[in-house]
C-alpha cells in the first residue's frame, strides 16, 4: 500500500489518501471494458487524470461484473469533446460527455466542486460529493491502482455500508440515497447497519420531494438489475415502497395486502430470472411484472376492444403513479396483457387517403393529366 500525503494550512504533512496496488485489490486492467480503457488512455496521454469510478470499482471488488464503466477526469467537457470526435456533450446544468466507441457509450464526468452542484473541482472535492464510501473509490487502469480518500476499500473488505456524509442530513440532502442504499445492500450482499435502517425509516417521507422523472429512472434501474424482488422486498420492510409506488401501495392495502404483495414479489422474481438470462428485457415486460392484471382490467369487459385498450392503458398509468413510463411501453404492455387473456387487439384504424391523391401515392390527378390506362 502506498500513501498520498498533503499539508495542512499550518504546513503539517498529513495522510490524505491510500493507494492500493494490484496485489492488494486484485483488479486487473483486463477486467475493465476495453472501450473505457481507450478513453482513460487517451485522457492520460494528454496529461489529464482519468479514473474508472463509482459502482464499477465497487462491483469489481466484491467479485461482480459491472454493467457500466464510468470515467472521472479533471479535463473539462469541451476539452474531452475535442479529444473524441465520436462524442457529444449532454446535460443542461452539469455537463457530461458521452463517448461512443464500437457501439459502447462511455460516460465521462469532470470532477465536481463542493462550491455548487454545477461547478468543476478537484478529485478531493469530487470524492466528498459521493454518497457512500464504497462508491468513492477511483481506479487507474494505466497504473492498476485504487485510490481511496475515505476508507472505502477497508469498508468493502469488512462488508460495511457507511454513509460518506453525516447520517442525520444525507437523506434530507438527497432522498434518493435511501433507495440506493437498499440497492447497494442487495447488490453486494452486505447488511445495512441498524443506524442506517433506523434513519431510512425515519426519513422515508422525504421521498415525496423527488420528481416523478427521477423516481421513474430509479425504479426502472431496479427492474433492470435482475434483483428487483429483493430490492422491493427490502424497500417494503424499510417503509420506502409506499413512497416509490404510491398508487400501487394504496391499491395493495385495499385488496388484501399479504396475498397481493406475495404475488407481486413472485412476479418480480420471474422477471429477475428473465433479466439474468437476457439482460435486454423489454420495458413493457417490466411494467407487466409490476402490474396485477385484476387491478387494471375492468370488472366487466366492454365489447368495444378500443375502449378496453383505453381503460387498461389508463389503469396502468394510474397504478404506477408517480412512476411515468413512456406511453409506447405502456401500449406494448396493454397488448401483451390482452393477448394473455386471449383478447385480440382492436384493428388499426385505416388511414384515409387525401382527396385527389393518386392510389400509388404520386401526384394528384389534374384535368390535364388523365388517368393512365
Confirm whether 70 is a catalytic residue.
yes
The total of other beta-carbon atoms located within 10 Å of residue 308's CB is 20
- Which domain does 157 fall in, by range? 1-164
In a domain, 160, yes or no: yes
Residue 368 sits at φ, ψ, to 5 deg, of -80, -5
DSSP class of 225:
T
Q: Do the strands 104-110 and 137-140 form a parallel or antiparallel pair, or are they unpaired?
A: unpaired
Give a yes or no: residue 369 inside a domain.
Answer: no
The pLDDT assigned to 294 comes to 78
Q: How many domains does the chain have?
A: 1
Residue 44, in any domain of the structure: yes
Determine, yes or no, domain membership for 3: yes
CA 81 to chain centre: 24
CATH number of the domain to which 23 belongs: 3.30.460.10
The answer to whether position 264 is within a domain reads no
Considering the entire predicted model, what is its pTM?
Answer: 0.84
Per-residue pLDDT of the chain (373 residues; tens, 9 = 90+): 888 777 877 788 888 899 999 999 999 999 999 999 999 999 999 999 999 998 999 999 999 999 899 999 999 999 999 999 999 999 877 899 999 999 999 999 999 998 876 789 999 999 999 999 999 999 999 999 999 999 999 999 999 999 999 999 999 999 999 999 999 999 999 999 999 999 999 999 999 999 999 999 999 999 999 999 999 999 999 999 999 999 989 888 876 678 888 989 999 999 999 999 998 899 999 999 998 887 888 878 888 888 999 999 999 999 999 999 999 999 999 999 999 888 887 877 666 666 655 555 555 555 555 555 4
Integer Cα distance of 70 and 97 in angstroms? 11
Place of cell 483488479: 27
Catalytic (active site) residue 74? no
Tell me if residue 83 falls in helix, strand or coil: helix
pLDDT at 358: 53
**Do residues 36 and 52 touch, judged by C-beta distance below 8 A?**
yes
Of the residues 59, 70, 74, 148, only one is catalytic, namely 70
In a domain, 315, yes or no: no
φ, ψ for residue 108, nearest 5 deg: -115, 125
Query: Is 131 annotated as catalytic?
Result: yes
- Which SS3 state, helix, strand or coil, does residue 138 take? strand
Dihedral angle of Cα 278, 283, 289, 293, to the nearest 10 degrees: -140
Rounded distance, CA 46 to CA 148, Å? Answer: 24
What 8-state DSSP symbol labels residue 298? -
Contacts of 192 (CB under 8 A, 6+ apart): 161, 181, 182, 185, 200, 234
Please tell me what DSSP assigns to residue 73.
E
**Residues 122, 114: contact at Cβ < 8 Å?**
no
**Choice among 131, 148, 155, 272 that is catalytic:** 131
User: What is the end-to-end Cα distance of the chain in Å, rounded?
Assistant: 88
- C-beta separation of 98 from 106 below 8 A: yes
For residue 295, tell me if it sits in a domain: no
pLDDT score of 324: 93
Strand residues in the chain grouped as ranges (E): 2-7, 13-20, 50-53, 70-73, 87-90, 96-101, 104-110, 137-140, 145-148
Angle (nearest 5°) at CA 123 between 82 and 134:
115
List the beta bridge partners of residue 265: none
217 part of a folded domain: no
Amino acid at each position: 500500500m502506498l500513501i498520498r500525503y498533503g499539508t495542512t494550512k499550518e504546513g503539517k504533512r498529513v495522510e490524505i489518501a491510500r493507494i492500493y496496488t494490484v496485489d492488494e485489490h486484485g483488479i486487473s486492467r483486463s477486467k475493465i471494458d476495453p472501450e473505457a480503457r481507450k478513453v482513460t488512455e487517451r485522457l492520460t496521454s494528454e496529461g489529464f487524470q482519468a479514473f474508472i469510478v463509482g459502482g464499477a470499482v465497487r462491483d469489481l471488488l466484491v467479485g461482480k461484473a459491472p454493467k457500466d464503466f464510468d470515467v472521472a477526469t479533471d479535463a473539462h467537457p469541451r476539452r474531452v469533446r475535442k479529444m473524441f470526435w465520436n462524442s457529444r456533450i449532454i446535460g443542461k446544468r452539469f455537463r457530461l460527455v458521452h463517448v461512443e466507441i464500437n457501439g459502447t457509450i462511455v460516460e465521462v464526468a469532470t470532477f465536481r466542486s463542493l462550491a455548487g452542484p454545477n461547478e468543476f473541482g478537484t478529485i478531493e472535492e469530487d470524492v466528498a460529493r459521493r454518497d457512500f464510501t464504497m462508491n468513492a473509490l477511483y481506479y487507474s487502469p494505466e497504473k492498476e491502482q485504487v485510490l481511496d480518500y475515505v476508507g472505502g476499500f477497508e469498508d468493502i473488505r469488512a462488508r460495511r455500508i457507511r454513509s460518506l456524509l453525516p447520517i442525520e442530513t444525507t437523506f434530507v440532502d438527497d432522498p434518493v440515497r435511501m433507495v440506493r442504499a437498499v440497492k447497494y445492500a442487495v447488490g453486494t450482499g452486505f447488511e445495512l447497519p441498524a443506524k442506517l435502517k433506523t434513519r431510512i425509516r425515519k426519513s422515508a417521507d422525504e421521498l415525496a420531494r423527488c420528481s416523478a422523472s427521477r423516481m421513474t429512472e430509479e425504479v426502472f434501474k431496479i427492474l433492470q438489475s435482475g434483483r428487483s424482488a429483493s430490492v422491493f422486498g427490502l424497500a417494503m420492510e424499510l417503509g420506502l415502497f409506499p413512497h416509490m409506488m404510491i398508487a400501487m401501495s394504496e391499491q395493495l392495502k385495499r385488496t388484501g395486502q399479504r396475498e397481493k404483495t406475495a404475488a407481486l414479489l413472485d412476479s418480480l422474481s420471474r422477471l429477475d430470472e428473465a433479466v439474468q438470462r437476457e439482460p435486454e428485457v423489454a420495458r413493457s415486460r417490466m411494467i407487466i411484472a409490476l402490474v396485477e392484471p385484476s387491478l387494471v382490467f375492468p370488472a366487466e369487459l366492454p365489447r368495444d376492444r378500443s375502449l378496453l385498450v383505453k381503460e387498461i392503458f389508463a389503469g396502468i398509468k394510474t397504478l404506477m403513479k408517480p412512476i411515468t413510463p413512456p406511453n409506447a411501453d405502456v401500449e406494448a404492455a396493454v397488448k401483451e396483457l390482452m393477448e394473455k387473456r386471449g383478447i385480440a387487439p382492436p384493428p388499426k384504424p385505416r388511414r384515409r387517403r387525401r382527396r385527389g391523391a393518386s392510389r400509388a401515392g404520386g401526384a394528384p390527378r389534374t384535368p390535364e393529366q388523365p388517368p393512365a390506362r
